């Protein structure tokens, strides 16, 4: 199981999305592809191929490196079997990042630019936050840990032998009833403690933002009593059971809703912090010029940006460092010999990651002035 990396609440740090952050280390120009690969249509493979053919022609005419386009070609035909979006970042040497996302893109996009466009990938990563699902009974629990890549690792804790007679209270009557009843309750308590310890360890390991718990009406509260406070505050209970017939479809639906709700709450909480700092005239920057200045000074803790695929505003960056500005002259005055121009959103995300700052993609351009702002470190 891999750790998700340290990630400030509400933002994705480079350590949380290392594969996405790493594409900025490669040399450009870059080709970025977001291609709808809907599986629930007739002749899905052919539809995807037609979409790619159209994008490929446009990129060829724009001068895209053939090596980048050839890297995408073999990925398209069966992409619909793996997700609803094929996302690729490539350069002349080939593919740098390939992802199959569960949601469709806002529209098909093929972009040739000096920087990769990773905003949609970050937005999907925000929605796929690390979480833990716990199915508990008096014998123990099945614990499923989901990291940002969507993989779920199943662990068990407590007593696995549900047929152990000591796990069930004895029937009324008989001289041995108190002895066996006490032994059962002691086992339940030990199992609950073991489950809580395992859950806490998994939460810390993957940086979970949510713990969804279902199961036995007595086992669940017993387990919660032993959770440390930092973990207990992440717990949400839903209906369900550890047994194979525990209404798994309904449970999955509940988990999906809770993950989406938690992700939205993270955005709201971050924007609340931003507005509070802005109101105090303290640790916030808002608008293009102030935010770029804060990024250039490595003052940004979390970049807040709205990524509209049709937003073609530009900014300038130092290809060998994290310095950015609205114009090339400013960078030359700072000693940058060969400033390069890039799309504003992409320049800002690169600068944030280069200084170890986190990034949060927000759904509305009205969330911050000019669609860009930041919570600052100092």
78: which 2 tokens? 């069966």
CA–CA dist 267, 303 (Å, integer)? 12
Q: How many domains in the chain?
A: 3
Task: Confirm whether 153 is domain-assigned.
Answer: yes
Task: Confirm whether 126 is domain-assigned.
Answer: no
163 and 222 in a single domain? The answer is yes
pTM to 2 decimal places = 0.85
Q: How confident is the model at residue 152 (pLDDT cuts 50, 70, 90)?
A: low
% of the chain with per-residue pLDDT over 70: 85
Residue 244 pLDDT: 56
236 and 270 in a single domain? The answer is no
Task: Confirm whether 121 is domain-assigned.
Answer: no
Nearest to 315 by CA among 350, 344, 290, 352: 344
From residue 285, how far is each of 55, 366, 373 by CA, in Å?
37, 15, 5
Residue 286 pLDDT: 96
- Among 84, 113, 142, residue at a domain's last position: 113
342: which 2 tokens? 């890039």
Buried b (16+ CB within 10 A) or exposed e, 136-162: bbbbbbbbbbbbbeeeeeebbbbbeee
Task: Confirm whether 118 is domain-assigned.
Answer: no
User: In what helix (H) or strand (E) does residue 77 lie, and over which residues does it extend?
Assistant: none
Asked if pLDDT for residue 158 goes beyond 90, the answer is: no
Task: Confirm whether 252 is domain-assigned.
Answer: no
- Among 246, 274, 293, residue at a domain's last position: 246
274 and 215 in a single domain? The answer is no
**Tens of pLDDT along 217-233?**
888 998 999 999 999 99
3 state DSSP class of 42? coil
Q: How confident is the model at residue 243 (pLDDT cuts 50, 70, 90)?
A: low
Task: Confirm whether 148 is domain-assigned.
Answer: yes
Most confident range, picked from 121-135, 164-178, 286-300: 286-300
CATH number at residue 314: 3.30.1330.30
Phi, psi of 222, rounded to the nearest 5 degrees: -65, -40
152 and 61 in a single domain? The answer is no
Residue 227 pLDDT: 95
Residue 47: half-sphere exposure toward Cβ, Cα within 13 Å: 17
Fill in the DSSP letter of residue 16: T
Computed over every residue of the chain, the mean pLDDT equals: 87
**Stretch 178-204: mean pLDDT:** 73
CATH number at residue 223: 3.30.420.60
105 and 160 in a single domain? The answer is no
318: which 2 tokens? 């130092």
59 and 89 in a single domain? The answer is yes
99 and 136 in a single domain? The answer is no
Residue 175 pLDDT: 37
139 and 103 in a single domain? The answer is no
Residue 183 pLDDT: 42
Structural domain including 148 reads: 131-246
Task: Confirm whether 157 is domain-assigned.
Answer: yes
Task: Confirm whether 143 is domain-assigned.
Answer: yes
Asked if pLDDT for residue 173 goes beyond 50, the answer is: no
**Stretch 60-76: mean pLDDT:** 98
């Amino acid at each position: 199981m891999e750790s998700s990396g340290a990630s400030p609440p509400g933002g994705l740090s480079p350590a949380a999305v290392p594969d996405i952050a790493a594409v900025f280390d490669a040399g450009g120009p870059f080709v970025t592809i977001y291609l709808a690969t809907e599986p629930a249509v007739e002749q899905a493979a052919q539809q995807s191929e037609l979409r790619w053919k159209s994008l490929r022609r446009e990129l060829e005419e724009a001068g895209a490196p053939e090596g980048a386009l050839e890297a995408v070609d073999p990925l398209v035909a069966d992409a619909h079997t793996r997700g609803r979006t094929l996302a690729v970042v490539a350069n002349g040497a080939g593919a740098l990042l390939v992802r199959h996302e569960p949601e469709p893109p806002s529209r098909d996009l093929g972009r040739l630019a000096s920087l990769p466009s990773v905003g949609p990938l970050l937005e999907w990563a925000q929605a796929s936050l690390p979480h833990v699902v716990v199915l508990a009974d008096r014998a123990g629990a099945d614990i499923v840990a989901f990291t940002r890549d969507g993989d779920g690792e199943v662990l068990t804790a407590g007593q696995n032998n549900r047929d152990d007679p000591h796990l069930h209270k004895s029937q009324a009557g008989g001289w041995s009833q108190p002895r066996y009843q006490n032994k059962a309750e002691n086992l339940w308590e030990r199992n609950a403690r073991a489950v809580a310890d395992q859950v806490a360890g998994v939460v810390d390991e993957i940086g979970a933002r949510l713990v969804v718990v279902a199961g036995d009406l007595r086992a669940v509260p017993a387990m919660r009593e032993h959770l440390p406070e930092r973990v207990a505050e992440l717990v949400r209970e839903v209906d369900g059971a550890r047994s194979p017939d525990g209404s798994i479809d309904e449970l999955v639906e509940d988990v999906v809703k809770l993950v989406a709700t938690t992700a939205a709450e993270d955005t709201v909480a971050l924007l609340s912090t931003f507005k509070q700092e802005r109101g105090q005239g303290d640790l916030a920057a808002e608008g293009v010029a102030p935010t770029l200045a804060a990024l250039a000074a490595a003052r940004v803790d979390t970049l807040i940006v709205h990524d509209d695929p049709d937003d073609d505003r530009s900014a300038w960056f130092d290809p060998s460092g994290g310095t950015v500005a609205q114009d090339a002259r400013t960078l030359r005055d700072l000693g940058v010999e060969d400033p390069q121009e890039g799309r504003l959103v992409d320049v800002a995300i690169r600068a944030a990651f280069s200084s170890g700052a986190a990034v949060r993609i927000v759904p509305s351009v009205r969330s911050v002035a000019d669609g860009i702002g930041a919570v600052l470190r100092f």
